[in-house]
Structure 1
Amino acid sequence: MSVILVTGGTGLVGKAIQHVIETEPEGSKFGKKPGEKWVFASSSEGDLKDPEQTKKLFEKYKPTHVIHLAALVGGLFANMKYKLTFYRDNTLINDNVLYTSHLFGVKKVISCLSTCVYPDKVEYPLDETKIHLGLPHESNFGYAHAKRMVDVANHAYKDQYGSNFTSAIPTNIFGPHDNFELERAHVIPALIHKCYLAQQNGTPFIIGGTGKPLRQFIYSRDLAKLFIWQLREYDDVEPVILSVGEDEEVSIKQVTDAIVKAMNFTGEYDFDTSRADGQFRKPASNKKLLSLIGEFEFTPFEKALEETVKWFLDNYENARK
């Protein structure tokens, strides 16, 4: 019996992995395999910042494999405001999960990083070799440093103990079960919630920044399939970027237009250019991923956005907001 523990299992990516495991045909490429038990742990089961609570969680489930998604995450403005909190909380969470996995003899751990770990000044596109070539962007200072250290720890565990610890680097994730809380949300869920409120209140829909920055967005359910593939097929300590191609960047204005269309918003909307934009673009290459996985069909952006908006509207009362 393989027991796969997913930390942060009730968050955006955890819920997406659960959806894929439960809806793909059993025994298929991304479906549940015979002899697998999947555990989607929430923060209510234990505070991963605390080593004793982390050990109790591992004692309860005795995982053979871990997909480590748990993190303190937030959007641009939260990251800028709470640098130390993002650094310290994530450092504690990551250290406890990796060390406890080592103590319990876990066969494999995949940790979730982010493209914000990359240096601010770096040659694009980003690839897996450029993580440590300079300081991250100031707007992600605390979170980026904490996440970057996971790659350092993975190499150290491999060198000292032979551990099969690796990591995934997704680009900007969105989908059902996202965090739509206005201050802490990432750009797509924040804009969906803002558009909804503007529609309900008959007020203008105001977007922070110029709308010009470009981003690669990956649908959470596509990312879930890639995590399942990585768990089963990839056994190298070096991270893998999990992303759509760099030719599929979209601007924040294009995102806004797509949300307005998906929500049938007919009111006024405009950009508050006094607000910070963050990095203009940070394109990442998925060449390594595609060379390993072969063919993979990503959900078209507008279709994925429509499904996300529909989920938000259908689950408004219970959504994180």
Structure 2
Amino acid sequence: MDRSSRIYVAGHRGLVGGAILRRLQREGFERIIARTHAELDLTSQDAVRRFFDEERPEYVFLAAAKVGGILANATYPADFIRENLLIQTNVIDAAYRAGARKLLFLGSSCIYPKHAPQPMKEEHLLTGPLEPTNEAYAVAKIAGITMVKSYRRQYGFNGISLMPTNLYGPGDNFDLETSHVLPALIRKFHEAKVAGAPSVTIWGTGRPRREFLHVDDLADACLFLMQNYDDEEIVNVGVGEDVSIAELAALIARIVGYEGEIVYDTSKPDGTPRKLLDVSRLSALGWRARIGLEEGIASTYEWYLANVAQ
């Protein structure tokens, strides 16, 4: 890519797409293409094909997706598999047909088996059963990976696939019914602090371990790999370190300033016991995450206070 390349960011209003857009703008790319959902319904094949025929983007960052936490995935599995399959199928196919030079597809670490060896290597894909609570979403993402690889093999289409770990940062979703664990905890502890609540209840045992990557680091990795990686093999994107949910909760409570009790509802599901990515492939390419967890949570809380908190 150069500064005059036509670059389409699909999902630019989401957490990941927004970060990619900010990074491209900061780097001085001048011809960035973006459409809101109202302007372009990515689940419509006709609309997507017309858009690509008219705009002819040279590079595509496919960050558009229907995402959510355990509750949302377990409650709306049909929505998750249908919408994600439609979005990625339409965009990947239209990008190829319109002659795009390269496409970057964003998957998810949930593609790996529930009991995959830790840390999870790229070759662990499709070696065991998935976590049931987000199986529909994971299957859709696996289909996207396979589609990118298949278009490369059959048509020579230059597509790459990245598997980010759990993400957080400015622009995150803080809705308690649909958000992921980190933003949900920020909101829970903030509201408990404001209300003077004596305790905060968290789903599960607190023992599962998770890895968290700041979305600005992911955007940096996306730009780096779009410029420097050309292979059909997927690439994990993470920090290579994890924390327990209990450790995460204690850290967020301290950053927010909540001093009450943290209670664990063990009747609720934990999800996958551990999710830590092996990032040696990405490290060998020359990229590492730079934003520490405490620093990242503090800046995300500041964004929450300025943009979401009542």
**Native 8 Å contact 1:12 1:177 kept in 2:** yes
* % identity of equivalent residues: 36
- Tell me, in whole angstroms, the C-alpha distance in 2 between the residues paired with 1:154 and 1:160: 10
Deviation at 1:184, TM superposition (A): 0.7
AA matched with 2:284: S
Alignment partner of 2:95: what SS? helix
Q: Which of 142, 147, 159 is matched with 2:141 structurally? A: 147
- Tell me, in whole angstroms, the C-alpha distance in 2 between the residues paired with 1:59 and 1:315: 37
Partner residue, 1:167: 161
Alignment partner of 1:120: what SS? coil
Partner residue, 2:212: 217
How many residue pairs match? The answer is 306
- After superposition, give the CA deviation of every residue in 1:184-236 in whole Å (9 maximum; x if it has no partner): 10110111111222223232321111111101110001111000001111111
- Tell me, in whole angstroms, the C-alpha distance in 2 between the residues paired with 1:244 and 1:221: 13
Q: Which of 273, 277, 280 is matched with 1:284 structurally? A: 277
Alignment partner of 1:110: what SS? strand
Q: Runs of 4+ in structure 1 displaced over 3 angstroms?
A: none
Q: Which of 178, 201, 205 is matched with 2:172 structurally? A: 178
Partner residue, 1:13: 16
Q: Which of 110, 114, 124 is matched with 2:104 structurally? A: 110
The gaps in structure 2 that reach 5 residues or longer are: none
TM-score normalised to structure 1 length: 0.91
Instruction: Name which of structure 1's ranges 87-96 and 12-21 shifts more when overlaid on structure 2.
Output: 12-21
**Native 8 Å contact 1:45 1:57 kept in 2:** no
Deviation at 1:159, TM superposition (A): 1.5
Partner residue, 1:48: 42
Instruction: Name which of structure 1's ranges 260-269 and 109-118 shifts more when overlaid on structure 2.
Output: 260-269
Alignment partner of 1:278: what SS? coil
Deviation at 1:19, TM superposition (A): 2.5
Q: What is the RMSD computed on CA atoms of the aligned residues?
A: 1.6
Q: How does 1:199-214 map to 2 (within 5 A)?
A: 199-203=193-197, 204-214=199-209
Partner residue, 1:26: none
TM-score normalised to structure 2 length: 0.94
Partner residue, 1:237: 232
The answer to whether the aligner puts 1:4 opposite 2:7 as a matched pair is yes
**Native 8 Å contact 1:78 1:184 kept in 2:** yes
Partner residue, 2:83: 89
Alignment partner of 1:100: what SS? helix
Q: Which of 125, 130, 133 is matched with 2:124 structurally? A: 130
The answer to whether the aligner puts 1:265 opposite 2:268 as a matched pair is no
